[in-house]
Amino acid sequence: MAFPLTVGAKTEGFESPRLLKVVDVDTFIAGRWRPEHCVLLADEVHERLLGAPWGALCGRPNPQWHAPWIERPALEPGFLPGDVIEIVPGRPNIRIAYRRGQRGNVLFATERCNSFCLMCSQPPRQLADDWRVNHNLQLVELIDDDLPNLAITGGEPTLLGDGLLRMVEACASRLPRTRLEILSNGRLFAAPSHLDRVADIGHPDIQWNIPLYADVASVHDYVVQSRGAFEQTCAGLVRLAEMKQAIEIRIVLHKASIPRLVETARFIFRNFTFARHIALMGLEPIGFTLANRDALWIDPADYQDELVEAVGFLVQQGMAVSFYNLPLCTLDRRLWPFSRQSISDWKNIYLPQCEGCSARTRCGGFFASISEQWVSRKVAPIATSIGG
Amino acid sequence: MADNRNVSASGVRAATPPVHVGTGAEIASSQVTSILIDAALYPLSVVQRTAHRFSATHAVRVDRADGKWAVWLNARDGSFNSAGLEDDFYTWLVDDALRERIAEETCGIRLALVTAALAGTRAART
Amino acid sequence: MGRFQPPSDFRPSAEYRLLPFRFRRFYASRVLLVNEIGEHAVLHSEQFQAFVRHEMDADDPAYPLLESRHFLSPGDAALPLDRMALQYRSRKRFLFEGPKLHIFVVTLRCRYCQVSRRPDTAAHRFDMSLEIAEQAIQHVLEAPSSHPTVEFQGGEPLLAFDTIRHIVERLDAAATQRGKTFRYVITSTLHDLDDECLEFMRRHGIVLSTSLDGPESLHNRNRPTPGQDSHAQTLAGLARARAVLGDGAVSALTTVTRRSLADPKPIIEEYRRQGFHSIFLRPLSPYGFASKQGDTLGYDTFEFLAFYRAALDYLIEINLAGYAMDEVYASLLLRSIWTPFSSGYVDLRSPAGAGFGTLLYNYDGGVYPSDEARMLAEMRDDSLRLGHVSDSYSDLMQSPVMQLIATGGVAESIPHCSDCAYLPYCGSDPVDSHARQGDVIGHRPSSAFCSRHMGMLDLLFEKLLCGDPDEMRVLRSWAAGRPSLADLELGG
């Protein structure tokens, strides 16, 4: 099921943008947030409770309410207790900034980037969006502290500089039990800088997810459309390791990265043995990917040999490897143990062809954005039942 | 099978090889192969290096005369030198000259590499 | 799309710098390149020619290979010294550990030697006293390694089990406080096991190493005993030890003698029969027991290499037929080739393992840099004795003998080694050079150690160049210590 990121709902009484924790009575009592930071789902709530200084009330229109008001979204499920919503006065849509109990919650750091990847799912814009730092700091206050995983994405988060450090600090103190994964190209770590202080913050569980698309600059720099990027990312990887940071290396599987995949695996093992994990990702048909289909699209059915060899090599050397975003029917069976269900719940669907597939509960499915020309010819239900 | 010129035939313990330069007793002439090498093309260090490879199986002597190196090889076990000995020697000589050139070209990087790897570490401090 | 640049915009520079490497020719037309950090590449002769002349085209498929494996650095780009240094440091990591293998020769007595087992003072002259053991223990604790291996040798060390017990208990008691985890090995014929010592071994996780030269006839001829039953006794001990300690607790090695050379198959079959999954084909050592019988037992390098080649081929065959067994030496050489790590084998590294990686404490208190140095002393050459256990650790480690070893212990600085393609995978053995050739530096062209290692590496690289997928799968499982994905059963 793909959950939408925004919902349409009328709002009234808001003077400025607000982030609010969605609560019902039980959620509010169980939580640690002041009413000023919450929007109460007010239908069927006793009058007495409505008098508290709520950030907003949500429900059927009631002229007696003094707090800012949000209409109950028409489309199910709308937003649920525990979620965090963002209201901008005048906008008809409410953004769901955090979904309780779902995979894939992020802190969006910036739209700026110092790369320009062919398959970028979030095409960069060069604008001053440092306001996002404070926005994210507020959001961190409203996130459940039992959230297992939270990502910082962008754009390129390290471009925030000190702002990134403040976000990491906030997560370290407010969400110490949440693994923080920062999606970064690592380029700004190539040389010593103020950013190195991130190692001193002492966040208990931070991981840097850093993409590497080849073992040579000519291919990697082409994929990220930036000369010098490969050497900077490699240097950044070494320095982050020296700063004792946990690192995951990511490779997006497409026409440019597949030809050298086996050599890339060898390169990673020889030079970045410290990597805690290697993530091989299927292509997400969104953003720049759509414009670069000819350069990028290769049917997964056509690269299983390279995949088995590269993964086989890494696994045999004792490195941890996972697949994301590749449905099981397109993967060689020997690779199934490494496939993870990873597409964020809000962008995850199954296709009509999946009807009757016995592996559905184990399979990550597809991106909601998918269209026919991005579907492998091998997608078909898996007939026999598979053990564990 | 790889050329194993630098593999000894018998692994027998050998005395320190007599690689003379300039002076020394004459080696019996009947089974000596002598090779003249243009000193302008090959430095002594390379000629010595190649000569050293043959020093297990042959007594070797390197002399200088008229702008040339004179390399004399004499099989230790008393057999006649093989017909291809001079060709063998040149094959190695050319490669050893290449080795020296590569080593010169890369020695600065090699030093920087080892320094970067080991200096400032505990091993370097003990 | 207009705003995206094509691949040709990112083509590497036509100019490049060479990174440090060495080379070796294979067959008529191939060249093996090995760089300073142990990565390798194979080129055709013409490609190699172009490469070293700085004439290799950026479109040559070998160009990205050489770039990725650190043989060239394109254009004016900064040299990737940081990640190369990381690989180099990994390969030389043992330098930071100091002596990691500590050998205790707890007694010279053995059942079959002149020195008998009678419990009288004369016999105990050849046992390590507790006082000497104590002093040795101090050195073990002072050495920096956090995961040292303590090996007990003899004679037959089980005959001095009380001493072993004392040492193990003392070391285990001090372990946590010193931040060390000990690994214990006893090298034994297995003829003198009893329940009490097996129980102690089980409790302390001690493993055993024994000699199994091959089938009964071969083993017994190599190791004569009064009852001509060494083989049977070893097997009986093996069963007994496995029953208490588990199957994996006993490892075996074979000493290859002239008699073994005829055919490796019976030896390998014997190991299979006895349920071993690992065999160590160790060539004859030139000292001690071996050298006295050198004429009948000795052999030259070519004969050994022919034997070894046949052994590897047969081992690969039985692996492919379904029985997993690796050859230890090949495995560690392959690990050296295929990973950025040192193999961990103390006898094949540069700087040498003698002294720097190993300390041996003899029953009489003499401290030696290796077992071979001790055997030399038994043959009246104690020039490689470091000192006595009563000397301080730093006096031992900085002794004149240690400095002497250092002069011959760095292969990178020794003629012939210094430009050998196999340098990163090989090592220096100054004790061997001293014993066989008269000085710690030695003479490589006539060195059996050198020719043997070059031969074994040539053999392995021939297989790598040939690239037979089945052979590669077996060899990779040896190096990695686990099977490959390709070996997994397909299907539900």
Give the amino acid at C3.
R
Q: Which of C338, C473, C485, C488 to mutate to test the interface with A (most CBs of A within 10 A)?
A: C485
DSSP C69-107: TTSEEETTPPP-HHHHHHHHHHHTGGGGT---EEEEE-B
| Ranges assigned E (strand) in B32-86 | 32-38, 58-65, 68-75
Per-residue pLDDT tens for A117-163? 999 988 999 999 999 999 999 999 999 999 999 999 999 999 999 99
Residue A322, pLDDT > 80, answer yes
pLDDT of C123: 63
Q: Chain A partners of C67 at a C-beta cutoff of 8 Å?
A: 216-217
Per-residue pLDDT tens for C235-254? 999 999 999 999 999 999 99
Three-class SS state of A39: strand
Per-residue pLDDT tens for C323-352? 999 999 999 999 999 999 988 899 999 999
The reply to whether residue C23 touches residue B99, judged by beta carbons under 8 angstroms, is yes
Per-residue pLDDT tens for C198-218? 999 999 999 999 999 999 999
Subunit partners of chain B (3 or more CB pairs within 8 A) = C
Report, as an integer, the average pLDDT of A352-358.
86
Question: How many whole angstroms separate alpha carbon C89 and alpha carbon B123?
Answer: 10
Residue A303, pLDDT > 80, answer yes
Confidence class for position B11, pLDDT limits 50, 70, 90: very low
The reply to whether residue B95 touches residue C26, judged by beta carbons under 8 angstroms, is no
Residue C40, pLDDT > 50, answer yes
Q: Are strands A149-153 and A106-108 parallel, antiparallel or unpaired?
A: parallel
Question: Is the distance from CB of C453 to CB of C426 less than 8 angstroms?
Answer: yes
The reply to whether residue A217 touches residue C10, judged by beta carbons under 8 angstroms, is yes
Residue B12, pLDDT > 50, answer no
Q: What is the residue extent of each domain of chain B?
A: 13-93
Report, as an integer, the average pLDDT of C473-485.
92
Give the amino acid at A330.
T
Percent above pLDDT 70 for chain C: 93
Question: How many whole angstroms separate alpha carbon C305 and alpha carbon A85?
Answer: 74
Per-residue pLDDT tens for C131-187? 999 999 999 999 999 999 999 998 899 999 999 999 999 999 999 999 999 999 999
Does B82 lie at the interface with C, CB-CB under 8 angstroms?
no
A189-193, B8-12, B88-92, C427-431 — which is least confidently predicted? B8-12
Task: Name which of C405, C357, C340 is nearest C145 in CA terms.
Answer: C357
ipTM associated with this complex: 0.93
A368 exposed, middle or buried (CB, 10 Å; 0-12, 13-18, 19+)?
A: middle
Per-residue pLDDT tens for B108-122? 999 999 999 998 665
Give the amino acid at B82.
S
Three-class SS state of C459: helix
Question: Is the distance from CB of C383 to CB of C434 less than 8 angstroms?
Answer: yes
Report, as an integer, the average pLDDT of A327-354.
84
pLDDT of A386: 53
Residue C113, pLDDT > 80, answer no
A62-76, A98-112, A275-289 — which is least confidently predicted? A62-76
pLDDT of A353: 83
The reply to whether residue B13 touches residue C415, judged by beta carbons under 8 angstroms, is no
Residue C297, pLDDT > 60, answer no
pLDDT of A1: 44
The answer to whether chain B touches chain C by having 3 or more C-beta pairs less than 8 angstroms apart is: yes
Element (DSSP H or E) covering residue C250: strand C250-256
Question: How many whole angstroms separate alpha carbon C140 and alpha carbon C158?
Answer: 21
Give the amino acid at C451.
S
Does C448 lie at the interface with B, CB-CB under 8 angstroms?
yes
- Nearest CB among A316, A335, A384 relative to C484 is that of A316
Confidence class for position A3, pLDDT limits 50, 70, 90: low
Report, as an integer, the average pLDDT of B37-45.
95
Residues comprising chain C, all counted: 492
pLDDT of B8: 33
A337 DSSP 8-state letter: G
Helix-strand-coil split of chain A, %, nearest 5: 35, 20, 50
Element (DSSP H or E) covering residue B70: strand B68-75
Distance of CA C340 to the CA centre of its chain: 16
What's the whole-number average pLDDT of chain C?
91
Whether pTM exceeds 0.90: yes
pLDDT of B119: 84
Instruction: Tell me which chain B residue has its CA closest to the CA of residue C95.
Output: B123
What's the whole-number average pLDDT of chain A?
91
**B22 to chain C, closest Cα gap in Å:** 21
pLDDT of C491: 38
